Structure formats: C-alpha cells, structure tokens
Structure 1
C-alpha cells in the first residue's frame, strides 16, 4: 500500500510540473511576459499565441496515469481530456450514482448508503453520519437512519425525513417503471446531473452519466431486465477485472489539452508535445514466467529438482530470456521514437527518479566516449526511457549541471558537447512540488468556499464579465412600439378596432386603449356591443361623479351653517 501511494504521489508531482509548464506557455512566460510562446498556424499562415488545444501530453500507458493528470490539471484550471478504455466505474459520479441505485434495490447496504448520504444528493457531513450511528450503535445503518428520522425535529432530522420519503418513492418507481426511466428520473429529481456539470470537467462527467443511461436502456432490450439484474451485471464486470471506457464527448476544435497514450498518437502531430512518465520502468513481467518461448530459440524452461525442492533457470531459458528482453527494448525504443516525432515545434520530456545523484553518476559513466552512439551495454541495461535519454543529454553543453551533480569531472568530446541542438534541462526537488501540491489541493479554493458559506458576494472570476453583463442586462431600445403592427390591411381595420388591440406603455405596461371607428363605418352601421358597453360605462361614471359632487356640496353646506 505504501509503494502504491508513493507511486501515485510521484505521478501527481510530475503532473503538477507539467501543468505549471502548460500554464506558463499559455498565459505567458513568467520571466518574459512580453514574449508569449508562439506557434505557426497554417490557416492564417502566420504565428499566433499558443492555446490549450495545441498541446498534447503523451505517455507510455494511460492506466493509473491519465486520471491523476486530469485531476491535477483541473485543480490548476487547465481544461484537459483523455480517452481511456478503463476507469469508467472509478470516476466519482458513476460510483456515487451506482451507490444510489444499490440502496434503491436494497437499502440495507451500509457502504452504499453512507456514500449516498455523504454525497451532494443528500449533503450530510461526516459528523452527521456519526450522530446517526449513535441512535442505533449496533446493527444495520439503515435501522439507525430510521430511528434518527423519528427523533426530535432538527436540520438533520429534516434532511433525513426528506431523503427517506424520496427513497420510498424511488423504490416504488423502480418496481413500476423500466430501468432507463428510473435512471433519468433520478438524474433530474436529485439534481445530480446538473451538479456534476458544474464540477471541473463537468461536460465529460455528464457524458459519463448519459452513457450509464444508454447502457441501462440497452440492457433492457435483453432477456434480463430490472434494477437487480442490471446491478448484478455491473458487479460481474467488476469482479472479472474488466472495466469500461469513459464516455467520449470531445469535438475536434475543443480548446483542451489532449492526454493520450503514445500508441494512439501514431499518425498525429501537435505544435507542442509533452512526453511524460519517462522515469517509469519498462514492463519485463513476461520474462519472469517459468517457461519462455521464442520462435527461433524454442522453449526456455526452468529446471525443477523435486528432491531438493528447488528450481533454477536453465541455459536455454537464459538465452530465450536475453533475446526476448532485447526485442522488448527494441520495441520500447521504437515507441520512444514515435513519441518524440509527434512534436512540430516544441518537445518537452519529463520524468521522475528516486535518487538523482546515484542515477546521474550511472548516466555519466560513458560521458567521454568518442562515438555518438551510446555503448550497447548501456542501452541494453536501461530500465526506463530516462536511462537512454539522460546519458545522451549529459554529454551536451546544456548538461553541465547534470555532470556537476553526478560528480563527473570528465568532459564530453568537443564535437558532441557543442552540438547545434538546443536543450533546456531543469531539475526539481520533490519537496518543492510536494509543498506546492498541498497548497493547490488545500489552499487554492479555501477563500472562495469560505465566502460561499458566509453568503458573501464573490468577485468576478472571469475575463468575460463585461460580455456577460452586456448580454444578460440588455434591454430592447424600442419597447414603446412593441405590439404595434407594422401595417394593417383595409379589411382588417374593423376587426382591429372591435378587438381593441393592446398597446405597450413603458411606464404603465400593457393597456387596453379603445380606438374610435372611422366615421364612414359609424355612418354605415349601428353601434357595436363594445361601443354600447363603453357608452354605458361613461354614463355610469358621469352619474356617480355628479352624485358624489352633490353629496360633498350638501355636507359642506351643513357644516358651514
């Protein structure tokens, strides 16, 4: 577990280093703000400032790496995207929603129930979960939840009762409707679909939820139907060690950083390519099998002595193993060539090593070799791409700092050291980025979260504030004539008069303004019902006015006398 955590930390550190380099290029060099990084655009036939879509991050394998890079990039505010064949059931939105489906099928699943209660669907805190358990320390957590729902009224009690009512309704819906309808209803009623849309990478998270809906709809077409069978189908996929790829929701011109494997980058080119994970060891697991096979050398078995209860490799196995290792290294070298030739204008190589001084001392063993090509024993003993790249770069004039740190006093040959290629070699310590990474994870959004909790107005975080205000606060400048017809046919004049059309007044809103009929219409026909009504209304108002006026006159005369 410690080794796995250490490996994840190394990936995070490298991802942060790459992310900061991307932000530096896109926003402008910190040391030369007036000289942003430019790339050539064939469409405009001129140089322009680099954007995120001009950058691709390549790695030997995206498994365990791509998702970590995505999370770190999102924390740095870098839009990014990756296509993976695995990791669908590991993304937070799918794990949370599957937990909701599990407790709808059977609420007495403590882990799934706690996951839903803690999620934004219910919004309870860890302290709330602990308080619920106190109502029923032993037994099912669902029993504790039911007892907490009957406790005295509080904010926690209100949330629990609301959730319990929704859960009962959802369970009834699961029995009476099809699976796809249930999932879509849950996405809308819980608001979870909209919530994940506001998270970093929200568009792709929503695509993952839509993919779950589509898979449920496809599952309903089979002979196995219902929520229970669908969850069992998902469990079988996970128990067999298989997984599904995350949903693909990326357009060709999306302004995002592409993260992909080197294999998938074949045939593609990008203005800027960052090849990451160069410190990862090559995979030689297949060479550790008891029996190896080669089409030329045949079988390479391991000798087993049952009497002495020992086993050891035979000479045939050594020969086959050495041949297979060289073939693996040759394939890795071809893959490295593919990665380095994907860049059109700028190539960035990154990798992490555990003991930099010891590695530099090993890489500088043949620094004074007169040949351009590295000795075959050095390339054959390489365990990672850095074991090939660094021995070559340390002989360049830019590798002086590497030679000093590796305690190498010898100089490379002059014709190699003064090669015309330009390399900018930088080495960073783990502690520097470890501290910075913690600051990003804990401190970047603390101020914003605190303001949201206190309902304090937030300052605009976007450069498009003016454009947003202009669009959302825009008012139509000609409201006075809204509703007035541009033209009226002669046959429509009578109809418009009778219907008393609306006219808009900016101060008083919509009003009915009676319009008199033309005189030629008044002479040719009697009064219309509308005109009769208007006449009765005017007479009644006049009589009321006269009566009130006379009443005030008599009252005033009485008091005066």
Structure 2
C-alpha cells in the first residue's frame, strides 16, 4: 500500500505520545494495523507487550483478524524470522486486543484482593441488573417512608414533597436513577458532589469566577452579538435603499441600545441586566410604498433581533442577588438528594454482591481503585511497551482516568476523529479529545505530537466538496466543538474517479390547499418522502456509474445504495413497506419496532395471562387471537352476561353458571391456561416458550401471514431472550416478563436478525449511528426536515460534569416552581452540546457516500424557510436551526437571495458543488413520471367499444404458447440441474441408486453410519471452525490439533453433532487442509464467506440445448461451500470427500463436478459483481486441490 507522508509519520514515529486526528475515509484502521505490524515484525516486540483497546467486541475481533492476516502475509517473505512471527500469531488469541471493559475485567480478576472483589464474579446481564436496580429503589423508598414520623419530616419526605407527582413517586425514583448513572461515570464522584454543592453558596464575585458565571457570560455575548449583527444588517439595507431614512434612524437607536447593554456587561451582571431591561423596541416604521419586499425583509431582521433581546429579558428576570438567594435555598434539598442517591447505591451494591454480579461501571470503578495503588499501576505500565486506543473521541472521564494510570510518558497512541463523536447519550465526552487536540497542537514538548490525516480515500471529489461546503460554513468550536479549518477539512485521496457528480438536495414543501389532490393531502409526510426516494432509486439503478473501488464503470445495483435517517422509529418500517410496494428490495432490521409487532404482543399477553389470569387486557388480547379463537359476538355475550366488574369476573361467572357451547369453550380455554401455568413452574422458560409456540400452533400461524418469515424470526428472537434470561440469576415466569419489559423500556438488544442477508442485492435502511464505519456508492440522507429533540427542558434537575447540579427553584410554601439561573445556564449549555452532536451526526452521514450523496427533506412553509436560510448564517442563527436541513441550506444560501430557475413544476438552484431542487407535495409524487406516458394511458382508457370487444375475444381464445415448458419446474437445486444434464446425456438409461435399501429384518440393531453422513459431518465441522482462532494457530501443528479437538468436542457438547458422527471426523484431514498453501491463502484473506446460499436465474438451454420453449429463465438454488477474496477477485472452493483411483477415475470425477462448480462461479460473479479467478475442487480426504476450468 502507498502511504501518505502524514500516514507514514503516524506509522513510524516512536518514543512519543501521538494523537492522530483521522478524518472520515482516511484509512485509520489500516494505519493502526500497519503500525502494530511493524512494531511486532521489525522491532521484534511480542504481542503480549501490546495493549490495544477499542469500544466494541466486533471491532476488537476484526482488529485481531486483520493483524493475524498481516502477520500471515509476512510468512510469505524471504527475510522474515518465521519462528518469531508464528509464535506471535499463536499468541494473538490471548493478546490484550480487546474492549476497555474486557481489559478491566482481566485486571480486576488479577488483582481481586486489592479491589475487594470476589474473583469468581460474573458480569450481569443489562436487563437483569436493571430489574435489581428497580428492586433496590423500591426497597429503599419503602424503608424511607417508614422512617417518616407522623408529626414531622425527614430529608426524604422533603424530597418527596418537592419532586413527586400527585399520584406516585416515579419522578423522584427516576431522578435518583438518573443521578446514579451520572455519578458512576465520574472518576471521583465524592469530590464532584462536594464541588457542585459548594456552588450553591457563591456570592456575586464568586459567581462570575465559577463555571456558572463563565458559561453565562459566553451565552449572553453570543446572543447579544447575534442581535447586534441582525440590526446592523437591517440598518445597512435601509442605508442602501431610498425612502427608508426614518427606518434607518429607528434601527440606529435599536442597535445603539443593544451596544450599550453589551458594554455594560463588562461592568457586571446587574449593570448589564439594568441596561438590558431598558431596551424598548418602538413600533416598526417601514416604507412599503417605497419597496414592499425590502420593507418586509428589514422587519423580519429587526423582529428576530427583538426576539433575542426579549428572550434574554425573560430568562434574566431576577437580579443576581435574588438569583443566588434562590440557589442558596436549594442547597439543602440537593444535599438530601446526594444522600438519598448514596443510600440507593449502597443498597444496589449489596443486591449485586448477593449474586456476585458486577456491571460495567463496577468494572471501571474497581479498576481505577486498583490502579490507585502506585505499585500495581507501575507493574501494569511495565507490562505494556505500547498502548493503543482506537475511537479516542468516544472516551469519558472515568475511562480517561484509567488509561492515564497505565500509559508511560511516551508510549500512548490515540486515534479518532472528534467530528465523528456521536455517542454523548452513552456519556462519551468529545471535549477530552478536543482538549488534547488543542494542547498537542501547541505542544513544544518532544514527547507529545499531533498528526492530522485529512485525505479521504473513500469519496469522490463531488462528495468531498459537498461536505466541505457545508461544514466550513457551520462547524466551529462553539457549535460542533472543533474548528473546521485547513486541518479539519477533507482532501480527496482517490487517484481516479468518474465524472464530477454534484451533491443533490431535494426540498419538498408539505403544504396543502384547496387545489391539492385529496390523496396527496391525506398522505403522511414520511410516506410521501419514502415514495419520492423510491422513485429516485428506481431512476438510478441499472444506470452506469464509475466504481472507485474497482476502478471500472459498472451498472448501479440496489446493494450500492444506503438510505440513512436520524431515527428509524416510525420511519424505517414505512420506508421498507413503500419500497416493497414499488418493487425495491430493501433490508431493514426493524429493531425499534420489534416489541410493537403483533406476534410478540400476543405472546407477551399470553405469558402475562398465564402468570396471572386476573388481567383483562391480556385476557381479551389472547381470547380474540387465533390462540383463543373467540369472535367479537362471543366476547360481547360474556360481557353482557355480567356488565359490572372486571371482564375476568364476567368470564368466570359465565363459565361456571352457563352450560352452553360458549361456556364449554371457555372451560377448555381456562384448562389450557391452568396446564400452561403448571408447566411454567416446572420447565425452564426457553423450553416452556417453545412448547407454547407448538401447543398453540401460533408459530406456524404467523408463518402463513404476509411477512411470515420475519414474524417467525421475531418469535425465535424472543426464544433467544429466554435463553439469555436462563443464563441470568433470575428464575420464573414473573421475572421473565419483567425482564422483557425492562428490555423494551431501555431498548436493550432490540434488533431481530433480518431475514435478508446484508450481503444480498438490497437497499439498506438504517440509522446514521448504525452506518458509522460503513460506506455506500450512493447515500440518501432522508428525514432532514425533522426537528431536533430538545426534551431535557422538562426535567426538574439537570446534571453536568462541569456545571454540577442545576435544579429548578421549588418553594413549597409559595407553591412556586421556576428554573434557577443555574438551570437556565445548563439548559443553554446542554442545547449547544446536543446541537454539536447533531452536527457531528450530519458529518458522519454525509461522509458515508463514495460516489453520490442525495439529501431529502420536507418543510411546511418554503417561503419562510428560504428567508431564514438566506440570513447571516452566524452562530445565533445556526443555534436556532430546527433540523439538519436548516444547516445544509444555511450553508448554501447564507447572505443571499436565492434565484430559483426552471419550470414552475420543478424549481432548480444550481451551485458550484450542489444542485438544489424544490417541489410541492404533488410535484414530488409525480417526479420521474412522463407526461407522454400519462397521455397514452388516457387514450387507451378511451378506446372505442368495438376495439375493446375484439380484445376481449382475442384474450378468451388465447392458448398458452409454451405449454411444454410447464414440464420444467420454476426452481431447481444445482444438483437437480446436474442430474437433468446427466439424464439427457445418458439417452434414457435409468439412474441406478448408489445404495439399495435392505429389508428391515436384515438390518442390525446398531445402524451403520453411511458415507454420505460421514461426509456431511466433516463438511459441517469445516464450516463451523472459527477463522480468527484458526489464523492464530494454523502455523503451529500442536496448537492446531488442540484447537480442532476442542472444536469437535464443542459441537458435541452444544448438541450440534451426534457423538458417533463426531468420532468419524478425521482431524488429520482438516489439519492438512488448513496447513496447505490453499488453506493459508484462505486464512490470509480479508474477506472469507462460508455456506453462501443463492437463488440465480439460469437459461435452461445451457443444460438442455434441445429443450423446446426453454427461453424463460430457470431459478437455480444452491449453497456455495466457501469463497474468499484475493486481489479483488473471488477464489471459489467446493469441498468433496470423494476418492479416485487412477487418472481416468480422476478425470471422471472432475467432469462429474465441473457443471456444478461452474454454476456456483457464474452465480457468485453475477450476484456480487466481482469476477471468479479460480474454481477449486477440494478433495479433503485425499488432501488434493484441483483447479477446474470452464
């Protein structure tokens, strides 16, 4: 690989702490692997001396796999120390290349005595821990209620009065839970609490030195500067337009008053507040007669400035003394809250300790506590010569504190991109990266260095220009948290590409009036946008485009397209449905809709009912489902029999007192419920759930519904959750139901496995978060008109790592509640941080595109949006953006009045790197529909009756011309096609079975294992072996034999293979294959696919040249044993356990399988768009690999 100068610096620099700021598509992972490879091979550093940390298990596994492949490739070189490299490969499995939590787990077990931890601890399941957490809260609150004296109050009762609703104490419990989750991410939560509580005692001078005061000063300046610039722009318009002299004088007074207030801020808060309160905006004196359009524009600018000033006047309604007095009054309740949360944490820890469970936060805190011992920290530091941290932008304070204790002065390598930090909801803190970025860029110390990688090797020039155009205009340290300057902007790194393709923006105005088509008027906005994107996709697929990966022009396929959105909730399933209707194959995992699916709802209601019969909603749900099979009339009859009380009581009464058919049906229904209730007490939940599926027939019923395969998939996922539950410490149906409810509430592991494989030719629909790390030739960024979510304003108390505890002011005597000055400051800060995260999400989305980027968004009122987009584009206006589309359009149209050209039906704005199109709702739906086509259809609809009669006669007398073709099935397996060919060539000679079945009286009791079964067992094990483990030990015969023995036993233990079949597997055969040249090539490949199913259209005449009417494609179904990528081409393997004896027998064997392997090769090449370089028949028993020609 050819490295850039900056990449080489990152790879070769030693004896320094390096921060590598790697922009999107800059080859960060390849660089990291290359640096590690050189350290291992060239410096003879053992992999045991490397600590490589990342944030997901899949990323760690991929890193091991790629490093193994890189080291395997070294063995092909002549001057390499093979013994050393082989030793490193064999150690990779146990190397410290893992998630940070896996590292913490190892360290806590190694030093359990120092951490005060039982070394046999288990990591709790997230849902199980969530249930324990709720139990700890319930127990604590019960104890605290009992401590409240009849005629007095306690700290707890004061909090209950302040922070509970009229009906229950859920709000206070939620507050304690949120505070707990916040505190466990602080390296020293005791110090943080003490510092935060001290802010409530500040005087005026101390306030301005505190984080609150510094943040307020910054916020005021930003808003006032925004107002001043708006008024200045309005004044400039007046000055340049004749007839607005009076308006100019008025505006001069306005921005003079704003300027005075800004000067007063230098004197102090109260001086500023007095000056601010004195600003009065007189009635606007425009001049519509002189120039109505200019007058309206000036008025809009002035009104916006007026809104800023009045917003500040409202938020800063108290003088500083009063504001600080309110905060001082809230100190005691905040101390009570800290105490209550600490009590809860102790109780929760005890519950976990009873079951010897830890959570991820416990791991981090225990690790930090252990590393506070200087001797242990020094021992760990000595163990690792190099420390690497991938995705550094996603660390938090706790993780940073841990890492600081294990790195040396000159061995820390951090790589990431703060512009792609999008996990603040998981408490990732991008300011850690930013702080180091700023410090290292100014560093004169030889031990710290910053390297910036700005070359993008993923995207074409059009995409790069599109990204830069937007982010140079909107991203800054204030919003986005980093300057998008010369170092941060993207530079094209691709050597070749096709024609320049501009980024497209499609803006749809979702506004209806009396002339709007009723169908359009009633269509939801999401569906309208989905239909528009579907038509855009249809217009592109099958058209030629230049593929930068292959360096060749080819036709665009569905798999080349990704549709990204901020959230798939309420959108993803709509897109999938619309795409399906329009014939576009799409992949959508539907994770967020999983628990809302009909089949999961019915089964969960059934489980609820089995656990407790006295529940009306689950009872009616199950009764009216196919499980109960009661119709509406029957349910109504039961209700009318007893109109009062619960429905359960009415059903019981009807069952016991009536003797008709409905009563008998009810009795049978309740007998089944009682039997299932008994089963639930004696069976483990996984077996019980499967029994329910079979007893009710519900699993097979949903399989027959539309989308049946996915519905059955969803039920299998619920079984998997039951398996997770079985491995927890919880037991019983009641706790399983709670287990699932907590998973649903916290959105744990919601995604069911999709029926469509992601490697198939489908459009992918996913969130921006899930797209991180992926790339697509064509990206549609959808839903950009959707508004940002700003829900934190509703919370009583906010917690912030810098600003501390920021509560509402609550006075129970006055029954008053209002935000404190601290909370207002924190709200503004949170909003800026949220907007910064949204901006980085936009960066991630736009940089997923390789060749083409298409942005789609809907707005309510295009005219008003155009006015807003063409404003100054300063920080204030960027802060006020409602959604992603606002930022994009502000970047494109700021300080301009857009001139929209083109037909009325399709307005078009052409810019250097963008094409912007504007549509009404109706126009968006008619997009790509030809006027000529519509006219032709209308003419056909008005055809004369005689012609229509002739057409009817013609159709009624129609005779199918290809009747003979019906003898050929529509779908065949490759083996069946091969058999057809052989039969045709044999000229009617009957096929002789390989084995004649013996009469039962001649068969011994112990059934003989057939050769086919032995071959299947060997084949199954070959496909089940973990590649990462194979790569690590393949070069070491002893280690490989050990792995193969272990894996064979695993297949038996997990009941995947019968013991007697496992014994027939010759491990020597498998070892010989993986140590062969072909086996080494496969293990060295970056991409290996095993057991690849396919359906492929094939011309029957290729098999049966004389077949009549065989001009319609035949669907051939098959399974490719194995294929791997080598130099951009597939190497296809077909495993066989056949033997041959002599050259004639060998030739006959090759001829026998030639058709089959060529079928596989043709299907693989056509379905993936990548050629097949070699077709290899692997005779595994004989240890021979034969290349098969066409």
- In the alignment, what sits opposite 2:921? 428
- In the alignment, what sits opposite 1:552? none
Q: Is the 8 A contact 2:531 2:578 kept in 1?
A: no
Q: Is the 8 A contact 1:88 1:243 kept in 2?
A: no
- Can you list the C-alpha shifts for 1:254-283, whole angstroms capped at 9, x where unaligned? 344323222222221112222222222223
Larger radius of gyration: 1
Residues 18, 101 of structure 1: CA spacing in aligned structure 2 closer, same or farther, 3 A cutoff?
A: same
- Can you list the C-alpha shifts for 1:319-358, whole angstroms capped at 9, x where unaligned? 7665654444343223212212222233332333334443
Cα displacement (A) at 1:56: 2.0
Matches within 5 A, 1:118-517: 118-142=624-648, 144-145=650-651, 147=654, 152-153=660-661, 163-164=669-670, 166-222=672-728, 224-235=730-741, 243-249=748-754, 251-286=757-792, 311=818, 314=821, 325-365=831-871, 374-392=873-891, 399-400=900-901, 419=912, 421-428=914-921, 469=970, 471=972
Residues 283, 145 of structure 1: CA spacing in aligned structure 2 closer, same or farther, 3 A cutoff?
A: closer
Q: Is the 8 A contact 1:107 1:113 kept in 2?
A: yes
Cα displacement (A) at 1:120: 3.4
Secondary structure at 2:886 match in 1? helix
Higher deviation after alignment, 12-21 or 293-302: 293-302
- In the alignment, what sits opposite 2:524? 13
Cα displacement (A) at 1:361: 3.6
Secondary structure at 1:116 match in 2? helix
Cα displacement (A) at 1:115: 0.9
Q: Is the 8 A contact 1:122 1:159 kept in 2?
A: no
Q: Is the 8 A contact 1:84 1:246 kept in 2?
A: yes
Distance 1:10 1:106 in 2: 46
- In the alignment, what sits opposite 1:445? none
- Can you list the C-alpha shifts for 1:60-97, whole angstroms capped at 9, x where unaligned? 23445445545555666655444577554333222111
Distance 1:353 1:113 in 2: 44
Distance 1:205 1:384 in 2: 35
Distance 1:13 1:23 in 2: 15
Matches within 5 A, 1:77-156: 79-83=585-589, 86-142=592-648, 144-145=650-651, 147=654, 152-153=660-661
Distance 1:268 1:362 in 2: 34
Cα displacement (A) at 1:183: 1.0
Secondary structure at 2:919 match in 1? coil
Q: Is the 8 A contact 1:87 1:243 kept in 2?
A: no
Matches within 5 A, 1:35-54: 36-40=542-546, 42=549, 45-51=552-558, 53-54=559-560
Q: Is the 8 A contact 2:779 2:853 kept in 1?
A: yes
User: How does the TM-score come out when normalised to structure 2?
Assistant: 0.31
- Can you list the C-alpha shifts for 1:221-240, whole angstroms capped at 9, x where unaligned? 555433233224445556x7
Distance 2:688 2:538 in 1: 45
Q: Is the 8 A contact 1:279 1:353 kept in 2?
A: yes
Secondary structure at 1:422 match in 2? strand
Question: Which structure 1 segments of 5+ residues have no match?
Answer: 1-8, 30-34, 367-373, 407-411, 434-464, 489-494, 496-561
Cα displacement (A) at 1:47: 1.9
Cα displacement (A) at 1:306: 9.5
Residues 338, 292 of structure 1: CA spacing in aligned structure 2 closer, same or farther, 3 A cutoff?
A: same
- In the alignment, what sits opposite 2:1024? none
Q: Is the 8 A contact 1:59 1:276 kept in 2?
A: yes
- Can you list the C-alpha shifts for 1:370-413, whole angstroms capped at 9, x where unaligned? xxxx444432321222222234556697844899999xxxxx9x
- Can you list the C-alpha shifts for 1:166-206, whole angstroms capped at 9, x where unaligned? 44543443344332222112212323223333445544433
Q: Is the 8 A contact 2:910 2:916 kept in 1?
A: no
Higher deviation after alignment, 305-314 or 193-202: 305-314
Secondary structure at 1:350 match in 2? strand
- In the alignment, what sits opposite 2:252? none
Secondary structure at 1:268 match in 2? coil
Residues 338, 137 of structure 1: CA spacing in aligned structure 2 closer, same or farther, 3 A cutoff?
A: same
Distance 2:601 2:910 in 1: 54
Secondary structure at 2:857 match in 1? coil
Distance 1:48 1:173 in 2: 57
Q: Is the 8 A contact 2:642 2:650 kept in 1?
A: yes
Question: Which structure 2 segments of 5+ residues have no match?
Answer: 1-519, 927-965, 997-1001, 1003-1190
Residues 389, 43 of structure 1: CA spacing in aligned structure 2 closer, same or farther, 3 A cutoff?
A: closer
Q: Is the 8 A contact 2:725 2:739 kept in 1?
A: no
Distance 2:993 2:770 in 1: 61
Q: Is the 8 A contact 2:685 2:733 kept in 1?
A: yes
Residues 105, 323 of structure 1: CA spacing in aligned structure 2 closer, same or farther, 3 A cutoff?
A: closer
Cα displacement (A) at 1:299: 8.6
- In the alignment, what sits opposite 2:68? none
Q: Is the 8 A contact 2:557 2:761 kept in 1?
A: no
Higher deviation after alignment, 113-122 or 65-74: 65-74
Secondary structure at 2:889 match in 1? helix
Distance 2:811 2:683 in 1: 65
Residues 348, 396 of structure 1: CA spacing in aligned structure 2 closer, same or farther, 3 A cutoff?
A: farther
Secondary structure at 2:602 match in 1? helix
Secondary structure at 2:752 match in 1? coil
- In the alignment, what sits opposite 2:565? 59
Q: Is the 8 A contact 2:798 2:826 kept in 1?
A: yes
- In the alignment, what sits opposite 2:292? none
Q: Is the 8 A contact 1:54 1:270 kept in 2?
A: yes
Distance 2:699 2:603 in 1: 10
Residues 333, 197 of structure 1: CA spacing in aligned structure 2 closer, same or farther, 3 A cutoff?
A: same
Cα displacement (A) at 1:121: 3.0
Q: Is the 8 A contact 1:58 1:339 kept in 2?
A: yes
User: How does the TM-score come out when normalised to structure 1?
Assistant: 0.59
- In the alignment, what sits opposite 2:39? none
Secondary structure at 2:858 match in 1? coil
- Cα RMSD after superposing both structures: 5.1
Distance 2:609 2:543 in 1: 52
Cα displacement (A) at 1:12: 8.1
- Can you list the C-alpha shifts for 1:194-221, whole angstroms capped at 9, x where unaligned? 3333445544433332222233234335
Higher deviation after alignment, 159-168 or 268-277: 159-168
Secondary structure at 2:524 match in 1? helix
Residues 162, 289 of structure 1: CA spacing in aligned structure 2 closer, same or farther, 3 A cutoff?
A: closer
Distance 1:419 1:18 in 2: 26
Residues 188, 419 of structure 1: CA spacing in aligned structure 2 closer, same or farther, 3 A cutoff?
A: same
Distance 2:765 2:542 in 1: 23
Residues 466, 328 of structure 1: CA spacing in aligned structure 2 closer, same or farther, 3 A cutoff?
A: farther
Secondary structure at 2:781 match in 1? strand
Q: Is the 8 A contact 2:591 2:752 kept in 1?
A: no
Match of 1:24 among 535, 541, 544: 535
Secondary structure at 1:351 match in 2? strand
Secondary structure at 2:604 match in 1? helix
- In the alignment, what sits opposite 1:516? none
